[in-house]
Amino acid sequence: MNYRKLKGVAIFLVCLIIIGLLSIIFLFLLTNQSNSYRYDFENVADNTNVNQEIGSQQQNNVSNNSTDSNASGSLIDLNELDKTYIPDYDFYFELPINGATGYASINSNIRASNSSESTIVKKINAGTGFKILEENGNWLKVDVNGTVGWISTLYCMVNLPDIIPSIVYDDTNSYSSLFKSSEIDIPNVTGKQLYNNKAYNERLEKNEYMMPVIYAMAKKIMKAQELALEEGYSLKIYETYRPYEAQVAVSTNLNKLMNENKTVYNGINGGGWNEGWFIAQVLSNHQRGIAMDVSLVKVNNYKVKTCGNYKYMSITDYTEEQMPTQMHELSNKAISMKYGVDSNSKTAWEDVPMASGMTDGAKRLRNYCVEAGLTPLCSEWWHFNDLDARKEIGNNYSTGRYYITECCSAIPE
């Protein structure tokens, strides 16, 4: 009888031990599942998934306070976000297109509906700014000083900081130009303000540069930035649209310096290169809205900020990668390839060896931009074009005879 009692007690104790072990395993699995709703810096570039969760937060629960984070592993807890609210956007960019500033690249018609056959409700000049309200196919619904209508995306430029705020923007030509040649100052250019394109941006709640490009190119820049962020880097854009007057100022003064200074002359014309490779003397792709001058930085720190129902990353500290030269060094020191080929060809450059001066940072930058569909320039490591957009625009391109002065950006609804 005693033996039976002892046997029963033993079985009872074994059952308790098994139940305890199962409880521990259950808690372990539950913890791992909870952690699956967290993401670190390396995943912050996955804008589609992140913004779908961010966009689901109810507007009355969004705080205007930013959160400090860093690239070494701080996590952002998304587990508390309400997933019942899903805005009607495709989340291609980091922030929605609605509320962003757009610009007419040429004299344009604002139409009553998204059709080239609809009534013209307003005519606007090239460079006119407007607030984008929504996108429908190849058309944007816009507000131009109170007049609401539609404009084709084909000839519309969009302000990059409004839709890709994680990029670092530093338009040095708008406050102190870096242009030099063979490290020699270009008179009336180096250190000068060539134009002013910085204004208060309500959407980002700070003064920011206006950096417009043709809408199609913006999507490729988003892809390049996504690739960079995945590896802990970010683009740093120095210039996109450049007014024609600034282009002429650089070209004219460089030509004069070249004819007066043998060092500058040899730096431009040596090795089969010439002045046209380093600064267009008539019209460049910067005036067309299909070019950007860009470098690459390693992200050290960032903040997570809010804009309406959306969160985005704002880089607060970074280290710029070593490049072949300083930005806007107009000489053969800045070449990215050993020799020049047709700059209007998407593929001609592919068979050209890289220049010996190309650094690891410059190679990495080129890889990101090329994978995103942009085309490098043989003579400048920093310059990338969207030749697809150039082909689509055809002869209806911007001539750059205007300045960008309006920031119409607003918080997306």
* pLDDT at residue 9, as a whole number: 62
* pLDDT at residue 272, as a whole number: 87
CB-side neighbour CA atoms (13 Å) of 102:
36
pLDDT in tens, 114-154: 999 999 999 999 999 999 999 999 999 999 999 999 999 99
Contacts 24+ apart (CB under 8 A), 130-134: 130/101, 130/102, 130/103, 130/104, 130/408, 131/99, 131/100, 131/101, 131/102, 131/408, 131/409, 131/410, 132/97, 132/98, 132/99, 132/100, 132/101, 132/102, 132/158, 133/98, 134/97, 134/98
pLDDT in tens, 50-84: 343 333 333 333 333 345 555 433 332 333 333 33
Would you kindly state where each structural domain of the chain is located, as residue ranges?
A: 2-36, 161-393
* pLDDT at residue 413, as a whole number: 82
CB-side neighbour CA atoms (13 Å) of 165:
28
pLDDT in tens, 78-119: 333 333 333 344 458 999 999 999 999 999 999 999 999 999
Q: What is the rounded distance in angstroms from the CA atom of residue 241 to the CA atom of residue 289? A: 5
Q: What is the rounded distance in angstroms from the CA atom of residue 350 to the CA atom of residue 83? A: 46
Would you say how long the chain is, in residues?
Answer: 413
* pLDDT at residue 377, as a whole number: 97
* pLDDT at residue 282, as a whole number: 86
* pLDDT at residue 17, as a whole number: 73
Q: What are phi and psi of 372, to 5 degrees?
A: -80, -5
| Residue showing tokens 């299909």 | 290
Structural domain 161-393, CATH architecture: 2-Layer Sandwich (3.30)
- Residue 46: pLDDT over 70: no
* pLDDT at residue 172, as a whole number: 98
Q: What is the rounded distance in angstroms from the CA atom of residue 378 to the CA atom of residue 297? A: 22
**What average pLDDT does the segment 339-355 reach?**
96
> Could you please report the per-residue DSSP string of 263-286?
HHHHHHHGGG--HHHHS-SS--HH
**What average pLDDT does the segment 206-223 reach?**
97
